Amino acid sequence: MECLETSLCQADEEKTATAKEINKKAKVITDMVMQLALERERLHKQMSLLSKENKILVANFRKGCDDNDHDKEIFGNVDMASNIGTKEPEEA
């Protein structure tokens, strides 16, 4: 009978230790998920700001090119630059 009690006590201690280890690992994973979400949000904001900045630069470039028709011929595909990161690439 004493052997069963000892075995039960040992199993309970192992169960407690395993539960603590699982809780530690779950906390690490939860923290990493939170960090990943924050980083995703930061990158999304950065991409939005860069996209807006790119549109402003393209508009300013077009405005500067309005006075010079030769530049329009050379830089006629400026629309491609304004759409970087907003469209899927077209297949050839």
Q: Is 82 exposed, middle or buried (0-12, 13-18, 19+ CB in 10 A)?
A: middle
Structure confidence at residue 92 as a pLDDT band (50, 70, 90): very low
Percent of the residues in the chain that have a pLDDT greater than 90, as a whole number: 62
Return the minimum-mean-pLDDT range out of 20-24, 43-47, 71-75: 71-75
Where are the strands (E) in 1-92, listed by range?
Answer: none
Question: pTM (2 decimals)?
Answer: 0.56
